[in-house]
Structure 1
Amino acid sequence: MKHKVILLIVLISSHIYSQNIDLNIGKVTSKKYYEEIGFEFIKDKIIIPVSIEGKEYKFILDTGAPNIISNEINNLISPELIQTIPVSDASGKKENLKVVSVKKLMLGNIEFINTATLVYDLNSNPIFKCFGIDGFIGSNMLRKSIIQIDSKKKILTITDSQKKLSLNKKESIKIKLIGNQSSPYIWINLKGLDNGKENVLIDTGMDGLYDVSKRNYQIFKEKEIFNVTGKSKGASSLSLFGDVPVNEHYELLLPSLKLVDTEFENVVTHTTNDNNSRIGAELLEYGIMTIDFKHKRFYFKSNSRKINLNDFGFGFTRTLKDEKLIIGFVWDQELKSKLSYGDEIIEINGKPVNICNLITKNIINKNDKTLKMKIKPKKGELFEISINKKTIANSGSK
């Protein structure tokens, strides 16, 4: 059979999006700068120290978003108001947010001035509240810089000169900066029985390796690229503005994903409500990422040229609702008779559920083969369940 190729170009929306104002405002005052900044890498979140008006804060590095500060910082520094605009998050939910001009923000000794920044009540979202963060460093502020992220050393390097970094052009591809916040997009290659290419957002604020948007999958499913391994009605994790709507989504097995010159085999992913597919911060577990916004190149120095993931998890996903941990999607057909969307998870592996511990710590490790839970169903009495992890060999996938 001759493999067919399908191309998919995505040119709209991102993790946080507004079409009403250009957020590419502000500049770097420093020249010929180079700074190495230590960071915390917690559950695929890159948390870096940021200084505003002499006070240090904790920000998430998120290339899928613009700059954001908390209400508390906004009230403290009283920045100039630019405009109030409607903003959409990854799930499509909208809120009106202030856009302000932050007069000065420091990353190490690098000074960024008059940066367009959204203001949001981060404490209203339990995920951000548990991480104790004060804001986001987004792509609009980084659009004239080069950033290199080394998760093994936990070092973020920021510079304006390629010569100050050890870069190999053979380990790179072009970036396209899209939209009003300079969101970085690259092409990846997908392969099943057929081949495909997809334009994806590099989103360092996203958990996981690769999410495929449901909209994109509807195009790809005309070809034999993905294998459907599960279908379920439920909800995924929280977006910026809270709960996401209940929808039907798919669990998919992608035999091969090639990014730059690294091939990931047996990639398990799920469709999302976002308009775009995304590459997330899990990529950092497999090598060093460099995003050269200034010259529009993406570099990935991989630990290995071929990586077999082969991990279906436990056949369901978890999410938060009303500050409770609940069942999100149930992919495994046998589990559907036991678990349903909205069932509350009371206990995991003998320990009562603590939301912040679950969000910020590895309560369930990748090496765990069995998961024991105590469940409070929407109807009925408490029960306990033990679930074995699935792999390609025992998933029934072809």
Structure 2
Amino acid sequence: MKYILLLLLVPFLVLSQTDAQKEAIKNRDKYLFGTTRLQKNFVKTIPFEYGVNEEIVVPVQIGGEIYHFLFDTGATTIVSQEIKDKLELHELFSNEMVDGSGQIEQMPVYILDKLAFSDIEFKDVAVIASDFKKFGSLFCEKIDGLLGTNIMRTCHWKIDYKNRQLIMSDKKIKPSKNFYPIDFKEGFSGSPLLTVYMGGYSVIMLMDTGYNGGFSIPDSLFFKSEKLRSLPYNKGYGNSTITLYNAKPRQKYLAAIDSVYIENKRHLVKNGIADIDEGETFLIGNDIFEGFGEVILDWDKKRIYLPETVVEEDDKYNTFGFGPAYDDGTITIALVWEGSSAFTQGLEVGDVVISINGTDCQNIDRKKWCALVGLIKNKETKTLPVTIKKKDGTEKGYILKRGNLFE
């Protein structure tokens, strides 16, 4: 199970007023799409780290220093507040931005003179600045920013999940014979939008490698659709997502989907699990593309290429039924699913975790926290002893059992 889902989605928002639309498009074309690549005739292979929560982390060079960025097809480029302050970036303009939870805020936009990925330099990179300290509850290392679509659309890419590497080139990356093309449209900030068929609906889904789940469907559609509501679904409470703006704990849902097809009616996924979330955006994340093993992105022809295979998502939600969160040495219960072992034994959002499997979790460091996340996610771990401190200060031990939320 995904204990904390990473959802970072920051497209420039086109406003409904005509004048605001024109201004947003003008700023996008001049600044966001004004990023240029300085080198030619290259093919680069860049290893990436695939974190315990299945996020793609790559090294980026800014001002002679190396930083860790998330490779995110669902966002424009973002830097930490520390980078923005160190480089003394000046605001160009501000625009309304929407994150993956649907929250909207007015955000300033800056220009970064240069950014290098591998040894390929990008000039005049429009960036947003954000406080990345709050993402410490997810990552096993410090994350300094997002490598977004205003950089990606200047190159050709292959994401090789099997070998944990990115291939970047200024020339087309030729797909193998067993790959097939899928046309996409660009979202306002350049993110790939794919036509997907599920539950009797044709929907536009954003390819979001900043989202480590499989599918995400807006709750506004799910509960209005008789066809979708008829799917098996499970309810929980808490916060399973981390977004650019702070999302609050709320009712959460998971739905089991028999089959999902892409535009040309080829099978995409069988027995998939979808997160039912607030907001209006449909997402496809790393959980699906990792199942294919490889994906090629071609912004020139506006196509992605996927292997001829079917992703089987069976057994994805065999879980103890809770999602932990880590903050400054303390682990808490962030999410509980109804019907699970955690739920039936009385774990609640906000409970403090004293120990897991005999490991003391008080003042725990990030390395031990990440090892525990790996233990919890490992399907070979069938039972899990935990000690919990309840809100009234009492401590109690539990033996949690792994189970399927949809059985």
**Category of TM-score, reference length = shorter chain:** 0.7 to 0.9
Partner residue, 2:3: none
d(CA) in 2 for partners of 1:130, 1:333: 27
- The answer to whether the 8 Å contact 1:315/1:332 transfers is no
CA separation of 1:345 and 1:109: change in aligned 2, threshold 3 A: same
Partner residue, 2:235: 231
Q: Does 1:325 align with 2:332?
A: yes
- Shift of the alpha carbon at 1:251? 2.2
CA separation of 1:123 and 1:375: change in aligned 2, threshold 3 A: same
d(CA) in 2 for partners of 1:329, 1:254: 21
d(CA) in 1 for partners of 2:202, 2:144: 37
* One-letter amino acid matched to 2:166: L
Alignment counterpart, residue 362 of structure 1, candidates 365, 368, 374: 374
- Shift of the alpha carbon at 1:381? 2.5
Partner residue, 2:17: none
Segments of 5+ residues of structure 1 without an aligned counterpart are 1-12
Alignment counterpart, residue 202 of structure 2, candidates 197, 204, 209: 197
Alignment counterpart, residue 274 of structure 2, candidates 256, 269, 274: 269
The Cα offsets for residues 116-172 of structure 1, whole Å up to 9 and x where unpaired, read as 11112222442477521221101122123221111222211112322x433458522
* One-letter amino acid matched to 1:138: G
- The answer to whether the 8 Å contact 1:169/1:299 transfers is no
* One-letter amino acid matched to 1:34: V
How many residues are matched?
A: 374
- The answer to whether the 8 Å contact 1:145/1:158 transfers is yes
- The answer to whether the 8 Å contact 2:34/2:125 transfers is yes
Alignment counterpart, residue 255 of structure 2, candidates 252, 256, 261: 252
- Shift of the alpha carbon at 1:49? 1.4
d(CA) in 2 for partners of 1:131, 1:166: 33
Partner residue, 1:8: none
CA separation of 1:306 and 1:102: change in aligned 2, threshold 3 A: closer
Q: Does 1:16 align with 2:29?
A: no
* One-letter amino acid matched to 2:125: T
- Shift of the alpha carbon at 1:14? 7.8
* One-letter amino acid matched to 2:227: K
d(CA) in 1 for partners of 2:127, 2:106: 13
Alignment counterpart, residue 288 of structure 1, candidates 291, 294, 297: 294
Q: Percent identity?
A: 24
TM-score by length of 1: 0.83
* One-letter amino acid matched to 1:101: I
TM-score by length of 2: 0.81
CA separation of 1:84 and 1:256: change in aligned 2, threshold 3 A: same
Partner residue, 2:19: none
Q: Does 1:69 align with 2:79?
A: yes
CA separation of 1:88 and 1:320: change in aligned 2, threshold 3 A: farther
* One-letter amino acid matched to 2:318: G
Map 1:1-398 to 2 at 5 A: 15-19=9-13, 20=24, 21-22=27-28, 23-42=32-51, 43-127=53-137, 130-162=140-172, 164-168=173-177, 171-179=180-188, 181-191=189-199, 195-219=200-224, 221-223=225-227, 227-242=231-246, 244-259=247-262, 261-286=266-291, 287-301=293-307, 304-314=309-319, 316-320=321-325, 324-332=331-339, 335-336=343-344, 338-353=346-361, 354=364, 356-357=366-367, 358=369, 362-364=374-376, 365-379=378-392, 381-391=394-404, 395-396=406-407
- Shift of the alpha carbon at 1:380? 6.3
- The answer to whether the 8 Å contact 2:115/2:123 transfers is yes
d(CA) in 2 for partners of 1:111, 1:322: 35
The Cα offsets for residues 276-321 of structure 1, whole Å up to 9 and x where unpaired, read as 121111234321011222211011226x435242332326341538
* One-letter amino acid matched to 2:261: K
Secondary structure of residue in 2 paired with 1:231: strand
Structure 1 residues 83-92 or 51-60, which shifts more? 83-92
d(CA) in 2 for partners of 1:55, 1:14: 24
- The answer to whether the 8 Å contact 1:61/1:138 transfers is yes
- The answer to whether the 8 Å contact 1:253/1:266 transfers is yes
d(CA) in 2 for partners of 1:96, 1:322: 27
